[in-house]
Each structure stands twice: as C-alpha cells, then as structure tokens.
Amino acid sequence: MQIAAILHELEQWAPPGYQEKYDNAGLITGNLHQECTGILCSLDATEEVIAEAIKKGCNLVVSHHPIIFHGLKKITGKNYVERAIILAIKNDIALYAIHTNLDNIMQGVNGKIADLFGLQERKVLRPLDGLLQKLYTYVPPAYKDKLLDALFAAGGGHISDYSECSFSVEGTGSFKPGKNTHPFSGKRGKREITQEIKIEVLFPARLRGPLLKALKANHPYEEVAYEIIQLENTSHLLGAGIIGRLPRVIGEKAFLRAIREKLGLQVLKHTRLLNKQIRYVAICGGAGSFLLPDAIACGADFYLTSDIKYHEFFDADGKIVFADAGHWETEQFTITLLFDFLREKFPNFAVLKTKIRTNPVFYS
C-alpha cells in the first residue's frame, strides 16, 4: 500500500483546508508513492519517535504536531527540529502532521476529550467561517437529474448532517452562437430562446476543483454558464473548542478531582472557585486561552484547556472556572484517536502507538 492511500483517508477525515493559517499540517517529509511498511502514531515527531519508527519498521509517522512550523533556511542539525528532519530523510521516513485540522472537527482532538467526561449536546465554541461556496448553473430540464447526481457525488449539497441539498427554479434563457461554435441547440448567428432550470448547490470551498470538473463533464452545453460565490455561513460542526453538558451536575471540587483522575495529573492550575455547580463544560486541547470569551459567551460553567498565561487567569473575572491542565496532558489521547481511526480503515496493516512520552514538561 502506498503512503498516498493512507494520507487520503486521513484527509477525508480532517481535510487540510480546515487547518488554521499559521499551521503546517500535511506531509512534511517523504514520498507519497512510496510503499508503506507501517504507521507509528504519536503526538510529536521528535528524534526519539523517528528512531522508534525505524526500529519497528514503520516508514510513516503520523503525528498531531508538525515538527516544522516555520521555514528552515539551513538544515545543519543544530537543534532538535533539524536533527529530526535529517534522521527522517536519511532513513526514508515520511512525516505527516494532522494538527489544527484535527482540532477543528467535531470528532477530533476535543471530541476525544469530551468523550472522557461524557459531554452531551455538543457544539463548537468558535465555528469556522469562509468554508462554504455556492454554485449557480443553468441546464436543460432533461439534464437536471444527471447533473445534480454528479454534483452530489463530487461533494456538493452537504449541509451539516443533510446531504443532496439543492434548489432549482425554471426560467427562460437566451444566447446567440458564434460562427465557430457547436451549440447544443439553436443555430449559429441566431438568437436562441430556451427553457432552462437554474440549479443552486452549496459545497465546501476545498472541493471547488472536483465540483467544477463534475459540472463540465456532465453538462450538455459546449460553454457552461455558471457562477460561484463565497458564503459567510459558519458550521456548528467545524471550529475551535467544544462545549457540552455533563450527564449530571457536579460540584467544582469533584469536577477538579475528575479532571486529575482522567488526565492522570498530579497538579492542576485553575482560577478561584465560585462555589457553583458545574453543568456546562467547555474544552480545548492544547493552547486554548484565546477561546475564553467564547466559553463565557456560550454559558460554560468550567473551561478546561492549557498554556494559560498569568494575566489571562484574571480574564475569568468571576464568571467561569478556568483550568490549565497542560498541553501534552490535554492532547495525550490524540495518539489513541489516530490509532483507532487508522486501525479501523486499515485493519490488516501495521498501525502502532508510540511508546515515547514526548512531554517536555516535568514536575518535581
């Protein structure tokens, strides 16, 4: 099996187009057409993880964090990033990162954490926007169903959990074929009046290429008339963070104990307790202090994340309990998330979880 086939499944699950602008998710080293000998799932693609992959005969490391965030002008081995890249390239190890695109899907990193606490009625804290476009096109009535089937097959017409969504209306079109044309109907040099159906279909912006290909391949006209517009709609299934309802109301101290137990923590930093019951919990694995206003606005009683700066703790302002559980600690279950997904897609293939604990933070 080629590495490309594995990456195709990962990118159907968490499309690279869902990553944040600052991110560097995707294939970082390696050849798409190389035969895959095994997959090692990890949170980070450090030297130790790459050495483990070599030892275990895996030539593909799928990590959450990309080893390269910014451009490298030189690769001399002077730091851990350059040494990891050199080791991977020398040993034909493909490094693939699935980072904020995995954060931004409902069943991704935050969904895995939400599962630990049994959160119900889940919603995204900060939905992504700019992901949708709309196609308008005009087709003879007899070709409407064929064209719609092709557009749906190319990924058009999906709205949340609904599929094959479209709108159409009948109208009258006109055109005059030029002397070098081969019109579907009418004659060159003469205006043609014809009955047409206007079709409207929403589609993810990332699928614009395949959708236009399907449109032109299945439309009877020599020159296809169409329009594409950008939409500002957001999706409650895509975006940063998750908020959900606990199965039962719980006291603040009891919930802090539950966090320490489920994440395996020795310590847990948090803001002043408010002597309230916890019902709605907001979650963002990794660095998530930027979502505190969203958690408050959504009515969360508690916000669990990491990498909170000193002054950011003040921003809770008595409105919410805000806890920093650690970056690695909140994202540690991503390894199992990746492993489970790949094992389900490739049950007869070697998929392994790293044994290396890559957390660079220690407590004494």
Residues 302/125, Cβ–Cβ less than 8 Å: no
108 vs 45: CA distance, rounded Å: 19
- ∠ CA(241), CA(288), CA(106), 5° rounding? 20
Tokens 């009418």 sit at which residue?
A: 186
Distance CA 11, CA 283 (A): 24
* Spatial CA neighbour of 219 closest among 158, 136, 132: 136
- In which region does residue 176 sit, left (phi positive, over 0), alpha (psi from -120 to 50) or beta (all else)? beta
Phi-psi region of 118 (alpha: psi -120 to 50; beta: other; left: phi over 0): left
Contacts for 184-188: CB closer than 8 Å, 24+ residues apart = 184/140, 184/220, 184/221, 184/222, 185/140
Three-state DSSP state, 281: strand
Q: Which pLDDT belongs to residue 71?
A: 87
- How far is CA 78 from each of CA 74, 94, 166, rounded to the nearest angstrom? 9, 21, 55
The contacts of residue 45 (CB under 8 Å, 6+ apart) are 28, 61, 63, 65, 66, 67, 84, 88, 95, 97
Q: Are 320 and 296 in contact (CB under 8 A)?
A: yes
The pLDDT tens digits along the chain (364 residues) read: 999 999 999 999 999 999 999 999 999 999 999 999 999 999 999 999 999 999 999 999 999 999 999 889 999 999 999 999 999 999 999 999 999 999 999 999 999 999 999 999 999 999 998 889 999 999 999 999 999 999 999 999 988 778 999 999 999 999 999 989 998 888 999 999 999 999 999 998 989 999 999 999 999 999 999 999 999 888 778 999 999 999 999 999 999 999 999 999 999 999 999 999 999 999 999 999 999 999 999 999 999 999 999 999 999 999 999 999 999 999 999 999 999 999 999 999 999 999 999 999 998 8
pLDDT value, residue 271 = 98
DSSP state of 94: E
Contact 59, 31 (CB under 8 A): no
Alpha carbon distance, N-terminus to C-terminus of the chain: 46
Contacts of 119 (CB under 8 A, 6+ apart): 242, 244, 245, 246, 281, 283
226-230 and 132-139 beta bridge pairing:
antiparallel
Rounded to 10 deg, the angle between the 80-90 and 47-56 helix axes is: 20
